[in-house]
Structure 1
Amino acid sequence: MSDISFEYNVPVFAGAPIDGTEPTHRDTPAYESLDWATTREGVETAETLGFDAAWVPDHLMLGRDHAEYECWTLLSAMAGFTEDINIGSLVLCNDYRNPALVGKMAATLDVISEGRLELGLGAGWHEREYDAYGWEYRDGFERLLRLDEAIRLIKQLWDSGADGAQFDGDHYRIENAYCTPGPFQEPHPPILVGGQGEDVTLKLVAKHADIWNTDVFNGDVDTLERKINVIEAHCETVDRDPDEIEYSWDGHILCTRDEEKLDRLLDLMTPIQFEESYTDRPDITRDNADEYFIIGTPEECAAAIERRIDAGVEKFMGWFVDFPDTHGMELFADDVIPQFR
């Protein structure tokens, strides 16, 4: 049980309602206005409470008033004001940055943080951001091909040592590219891949990832079990030991003994409608939220964690939805985490 880790998703945008009762974003439904001191205090609190990692999403304008902190800049700042907690991207959109530069940036940040970086990568999905910032939004299959190539390039860059890296792919090319100093960690920072598609994305996980990350729509136990089984089948196809891959759960946490607070925040967050690709799935509602979230008393939260551990999950990445109130995070750290350590 000591291998189970509990990790903190950094509120990089405010999500409280502007008008009416609909939150701007359900990851941060009680955060009314983005404020650096408040966001920083959340990270510092997570480290003080003993969380294992702090993760930063990679978007540019999701929050209330379109205000959001940029991922890599924030990770660099966090490396400076924290000491022990790991830091990671959840997940970098591959199309937003040249992957050779990402490899170099990641190596530098791993050195600066003394080996605390976990590099999360994904193919990208938020078309409005692509359009707003002038990036080409390619079809999903091509974005995945580019991600596959990017991960191979980054690993080759990290492994090149003093010789310089060469890579000649369909989408990316480098010649005599040096990554010195290389990463602090041996052989390199763990690579997390986020995504759900069973035919292509999860095969890419089997080929390249040290960690697989799911999302709130796939966080129920039945779906987790099915996705993990798919990854393990792909591992057999690509001749990889599935034990080399960690499985993570990424979702909403509300730990409280206050029934009024629980009802108020759940009423604010739900319903959550599934995306068009999930046409066979019911919306997340007040009635079925406990299938997807970790919510309730510490005892109820621990039971939800146990069910996911039984499915194969080892890393729990949580959005504490009562933030900037930290009572839920503190109760979780005091009464839930010790049950798994």
Structure 2
Amino acid sequence: MPSHPRPFRFGVQCSSPPEVDARSWAALARRLEDLGVHRMTVSDHLDDQLAPIASLMAAADATTTLRLGALVLCNDYRHPVVMAKEAATLDVLSDGRFELGLGAGWMTSDYLQAGIPFDPAPERIARLEEAITIVRGLFSGEPVTFAGDHYRVDGMTGSPAPRQSPLPLLVGGGGRKVLELAGRHADIVGLNPRLPGGVIDASVGPDATAAATERKLGWVRAAAGDRFAELEIQTRIHLVAITDDRRGTADALAEGFGLSPDEALASPHALCGTPEQVADDLEERRERFGISAIGLSLGDLDAMEPVIARLAGT
């Protein structure tokens, strides 16, 4: 864990905005920038949401300092050579504000509806690690030759070169194999509950506890070795309840997530209470876990504005 806490950086996942047109999207990006949000992110699913690369480029054109993140691009939808070119181009045209999130894929409906084979997790994660090796190599500007179990590249040089060196890479998840991969390769490690069923439902609760988070950080730390102190630790907040009745709300909601009220209040993936209590929880979690990057849903932005105003950049 860093000897000094990293500043809080808030990200907002904006994949499915209430209005889908150029003017509204640009206005949303400028609002995030004005509020002190660090990064605007878009996920990568094949259902009713915006496509990540085009939407992030449009957000870049509307802003000057807001960082743009893919949270996360699914490796199984793109060859890594194509992905590297898209990412580098976006980084150049955004003046060095892109953050590349890569994932092994998890949402079964995407695969089933699109007819894409949904291989077992170990195979998808091994393929992701090969892809990261290729993408990083193409970002270097040196010729890349790679022969793995999933990809072959023969003397290709990446072009254009990204504006940032290195271009930040985020990898996240909830399982041991993908978090160890993140520890070996990522600059930003995203912590999430495990999603073995390919959906987010009540079954994920027991893997969203503080104890589960400690265990996951242990995997990341062991895989990262000496570079662990340099990593930014991110978590995705799946439930925000701004309320004056913190305990009553926890009592009412916890059972539906398979948690006790105390476990629910301590989960790094949920926030409950007044804005002051929520800010205090985030500070305590940064101290305990090193979590400084907070990923929010767009639907929670209004409720979280006071918290962002208090903590962003501190």
TM-score for both structures, normalised by structure 2: 0.83
Residue pair 1:235, 1:241 contacting (<8 A) in 2 also: yes
Are 1:86 and 2:67 matched, yes or no?
yes
The unaligned stretches of length 5 or more in structure 1 are 15-32, 62-66, 274-282
> Is 1:153 matched up with 2:134?
yes
**1:99 shift after superposition:** 1.0
Q: Note the alpha carbon deviations across 1:242-262, whole angstroms, 9 max, x for none.
A: 2132211111464746669x9
Correspondence 1:246-325 to 2 at 5 A:
246-252=232-238, 254=240, 256=242, 273=257, 283=258, 289-292=264-267, 293-310=270-287, 311-322=289-300
Distance in structure 1 (CA, Å) of the matches to 2:212 and 2:25: 32
Measured in 1, the distance between the counterparts of 2:266 and 2:101 equals 25
Query: 1:305 Cα shift?
Result: 0.5
C-alpha RMSD over aligned residues: 2.9
2:167 paired residue among 173, 181, 189: 189
- Equivalent residue number for residue 234 of structure 1: 223
Q: SS where residue 291 of structure 2 aligns?
A: coil
Asked whether the 8 Å contact 1:195–1:202 carries over to 2, the reply is: yes
- Residue range with higher mean Cα deviation, 41-50 or 108-117: 41-50
Q: Which structure has the highest helix share of the two?
A: 2
Deviation of 1:101 after TM superposition, in Å, equals 0.6
Change (3 A) 1:196 1:252: closer
Check 1:287–1:229 CA distance in 2 against 1; reply closer, same or farther (3 A cut): closer
**Higher alpha-carbon deviation: 94-103 or 218-227:** 218-227
Q: Partner of 2:7 in structure 1?
A: 4
**C-alpha separation in 1, matches of 2:24 and 2:261:** 29
Deviation at 1:207, TM superposition (A): 1.6
State the SS of the aligned residue for 1:166.
strand
Identity of aligned residues (%): 31
Matched letter for residue 330 of structure 1: E
State the distance in 2 between where 1:173 and 1:124 align. Answer: 21
Q: What is the CA-CA distance between 1:34 and the residue it aligns to?
A: 5.2
Distance 2:308 2:110 in 1: 35
CA distance in structure 2 between the partners assigned to 1:257 and 1:137 by the alignment: 40
> For the structure 1 residues 197 and 333, does the alpha-carbon distance in structure 2 shift closer, same or farther, using more than 3 Å as the test?
closer
Match in the other structure for 2:154: 175
Any idea what the Cα deviations from partners look like across 1:66-104, whole Å, max 9, x if unmatched?
A: x21112221122121121011111111110111111111
Q: 1:286 to 1:9 in 2, by over 3 A?
A: farther
Q: Which position in structure 2 is the counterpart of 1:337?
A: 311
* Structure 2 residue ranges without an equivalent (≥5): 194-203
Q: Paired residue for 1:122, among 103, 117, 122?
A: 103
Quickly say closer, same or farther: Cα 1:284–1:58, change in 2 above 3 A: farther
C-alpha displacement of 1:109 = 0.7
Secondary structure class of the residue paired with 1:314? strand
Matched letter for residue 332 of structure 1: V
TM-score for both structures, normalised by structure 1: 0.77
Q: Is the 8 A contact 1:88 1:118 kept in 2?
A: yes
